[in-house]
Amino acid sequence: MRPFETKVWGIVKGIQAGYVMTYGQVAKQADSPDAAQAVGNAMSKAKDEDPSVPWWRVVRADGVISEDAPTEQRELLRSEGVTFLSGDRIDLAKHQWRG
């Protein structure tokens, strides 16, 4: 595992249930503000390699969930009380992690 992934996974593990962060927010907290796509790659790896990383709590800047596993991500978020505005878009005003 690369140091960037380790850092990203640690940040994502800090997101409380019922909240989400955007890929860009995670990248910024990892001191790599232009690495949103790399955060996405790290989330894909986490899903397969480390079940303790709540990958489903990371979404696009517009609040839309992943295209890779939308049904699974939507179900996991709903089980934590996350509400959706329409389709696959989360109410970021209510659920965006600011920790």
The 10s digit of each residue's pLDDT in 72-99 is 999 999 999 999 998 899 999 999 998 7
- How far lies 71's CA from each of 9, 13, 27, 74, 75, in Å? 22, 21, 25, 5, 6
What's the full length of the chain, in residues?
Answer: 99
The 10s digit of each residue's pLDDT in 6-63 is 999 999 999 999 999 999 999 999 999 999 999 999 999 998 899 999 999 999 999 9
What pLDDT, on a 0 to 100 scale, did the predictor assign at position 1? 63
| Three-state secondary structure string covering 15-43 | CCCCCEEEHHHHHHHCCCCCCHHHHHHHH
What pLDDT, on a 0 to 100 scale, did the predictor assign at position 42? 96
Q: Tell me the HSE value of 45 on the side-chain side, using a 13 A CA sphere.
A: 14
Q: Do 83 and 41 contact (CB within 8 A), yes or no?
A: no
Give the global pTM.
0.94
